[in-house]
Structure 1
């Protein structure tokens, strides 16, 4: 069943999708969570050279003279490709309007009080590298939903680092493979996600394991899931509506693994509907059992994991076919009936 026939917006009943064509390949992207900034997104370029960009986008209004669906409010200069973008988790807008990007370092940008027309400035640059001779890239990061002044990064140097944004100090650093010290092994950490309160986070990486950590007890960790063939696990998403569920995907895999923390070790569900390797996943911000996955098969699929628990799930609830291999997906937290996908140099918004 395709959801393309259901795509529309109440303000524009004849529209089914919104599309933006960027001047470069798009990879990283994220929705703003602020209620006063609906349909605001940040996009990062993927250019294999020095001199990348981050564009700040919003839907064009009737009063704006534009040839497309979006308006680019500002372009940030970013030296290396952005591995992840996130806005500060602040739906009510009570904190400063901040955007973070990861690449060679973790950069945090500040915006004006109520508009993107004011030029953003670099608030801080957080350097995770302990060895001054090397700059190990950050593979990903996550922003703590309980305490928005805490961020965690994962790195190709095998570590996860937890930062206090107000003091710019490191709260803790662990090897993503279970050691509470800095380690230069050959097992990179590819993703990190907070869940279960202020202090609990998880990581996945090249050793094929999904591990859970507690910032209060960094001398130990627990393995939640281990890939049977020890394939590297590339992405991790923690279900914020039901913290018992995490989802992950392995390198070059057509499947998505859903894990129930109450029964660790074995998958709670295997999502098997893609015809090529899966690149991204995003839990629904308003339904605990819904998750969207995207793949090189050009499909975005929405699954209901409660339909067939403890089994391989082959048929999604909804499906959308794009015009290229989809490399990322983000589900809007403030506009929960909208999903953003990107492929090639295109961004598309889809209504579910």
Structure 2
């Protein structure tokens, strides 16, 4: 297995792969494939965000002779040294709860400066950062890196829902960048609210009370500019539609709070023509739902997990109320989940057991539930089939310490590094990066 690593001076929690197109009109942005944004998480206000990348990506491109004695050393043959190098960093202060590069669709927007890249972080506010990079000229000094890239990272704006000029606002726990309309970002907060922001105007579009307790994560539905879902400490997963904010739809509740769906409210659909439950139980006394992740290639399916739980729940938006699949392979509490973007049924999970597991759900696990009806929406009770359990992951990797977070790369052209290392590889591939303490590693899948 091909592995790249980076040793950070601070504990890393948040991370994300760059999504900038590396070809076409944006080829002037160098080294766009193997770059990561990292956010630290310490108990003080010395937290930083960093951009790291490879000093030489030629080994990861096709049609490159890695046996050339005059070429640069192979990046995977650096021993115990970090493969990634620091390109830029900046003080963040408050711990970083999430960080993400702009989606590739942003580069079509007229309000976007196409000579730079944007990334967003959350903590005490929603912060927009601007990253610019240039090619360094080769130098002739012995022991110095002969060329490469460097960059500059600067805060562009900080958005807060408080009108106080010196705000003391509730911390933001997460956010999601809309890929259809990339000027929109939705944030979640421990003050029970979700806020939709318009980055092109640097203003809030709307704010709503999303849950009875803290909101821990939020995500736009893939392909939608109006719908998003959120999870929180009240143990519920709720769907919202910006066109109708008078109510939300509860798609899933923790088993201790869920009740039989016997009297769904007419007209409260989930966007696919089926009726979802709308009963709300009392807050408190339930396991929180910590994270949510949509399948980017099939928006019907999303994953979540409970606090202090070793299991992942896979939900079908067309038949809410009960998971269609549960992933049971971890021996400790799960901390992060994420879907791959090449195979529609590949999902990864990581946790306090130091395990990163990759699951293959392509053998019918994500098939729609049959209802026995023809040409009409079934009653929700008719879809309550048993939840299927998957106990054997496709791949397993053990880290040296608890894994805080994971991130999939976008599909990357070039498989030379894998062919050089183990004789395999394909023209396109994905990597999974994970953060464990001060260590960040990227694994070729």
The two structures have a TM-score, normalised by structure 1, of: 0.89
Larger Rg belongs to: 2
1:227-268 deviations in Å (ceiling 9; x for gaps): 113311011111110000110011000001110001100101
Do residues 124 (structure 1) and 124 (structure 2) align?
A: no
Give the superposition deviation at 1:167. 0.7
Bigger shift: 228-237 or 99-108? 228-237
Q: Matched residues in 2 for 1:269 and 1:49: separation?
A: 40
Secondary structure of the 1:339 match is strand
Q: Report the counterpart of residue 4 of structure 2 in structure 1.
A: 18
Give the superposition deviation at 1:199. 1.0
Q: Matched residues in 1 for 2:400 and 2:151: separation?
A: 35
Do residues 333 (structure 1) and 404 (structure 2) align?
A: no
Q: Report the counterpart of residue 217 of structure 1 in structure 2.
A: 244
Do residues 316 (structure 1) and 372 (structure 2) align?
A: no
Q: Matched residues in 2 for 1:325 and 1:111: separation?
A: 30
Q: Matched residues in 2 for 1:77 and 1:351: separation?
A: 30
Do residues 56 (structure 1) and 83 (structure 2) align?
A: no
Query: Do the aligned residues in 2 keep the contact of 1:40 with 1:58 (CA within 8 Å)?
Result: yes
Give the superposition deviation at 1:134. 3.1
Secondary structure of the 1:326 match is coil
Q: Matched residues in 1 for 2:82 and 2:358: separation?
A: 27
Larger relative strand fraction: 1
Check 1:255–1:129 CA distance in 2 against 1; reply closer, same or farther (3 A cut). Answer: farther
Do residues 136 (structure 1) and 170 (structure 2) align?
A: yes
Match of 2:20 among 14, 34, 45: 34
Unpaired runs of at least 5, structure 1? 1-6, 8-15, 178-184
Give the superposition deviation at 1:111. 2.3
Q: Report the counterpart of residue 191 of structure 1 in structure 2.
A: 217
Do residues 101 (structure 1) and 135 (structure 2) align?
A: no
Check 1:210–1:54 CA distance in 2 against 1; reply closer, same or farther (3 A cut). Answer: same
Larger relative helix fraction: 2
Number of residue pairs matched?
A: 330
Q: Matched residues in 1 for 2:100 and 2:174: separation?
A: 10
Q: Report the counterpart of residue 47 of structure 1 in structure 2.
A: 42
Question: Any runs of at least 4 consecutive aligned residues in structure 1 with deviations exceeding 4 A, and if so which?
Answer: 63-67, 91-95, 113-116, 130-133
Check 1:341–1:118 CA distance in 2 against 1; reply closer, same or farther (3 A cut). Answer: closer
Query: Do the aligned residues in 1 keep the contact of 2:354 with 2:402 (CA within 8 Å)?
Result: yes
Check 1:71–1:34 CA distance in 2 against 1; reply closer, same or farther (3 A cut). Answer: same
Q: Report the counterpart of residue 72 of structure 1 in structure 2.
A: 86
Match of 1:90 among 78, 100, 104: 104
Give the superposition deviation at 1:308. 6.0
| CA RMSD, 1 decimal | 2.0
Q: Report the counterpart of residue 247 of structure 1 in structure 2.
A: 303
Q: Report the counterpart of residue 360 of structure 2 in structure 1.
A: 304
Unpaired runs of at least 5, structure 2? 23-31, 57-71, 136-148, 257-285, 366-386, 413-428
Query: Do the aligned residues in 1 keep the contact of 2:122 with 2:174 (CA within 8 Å)?
Result: yes
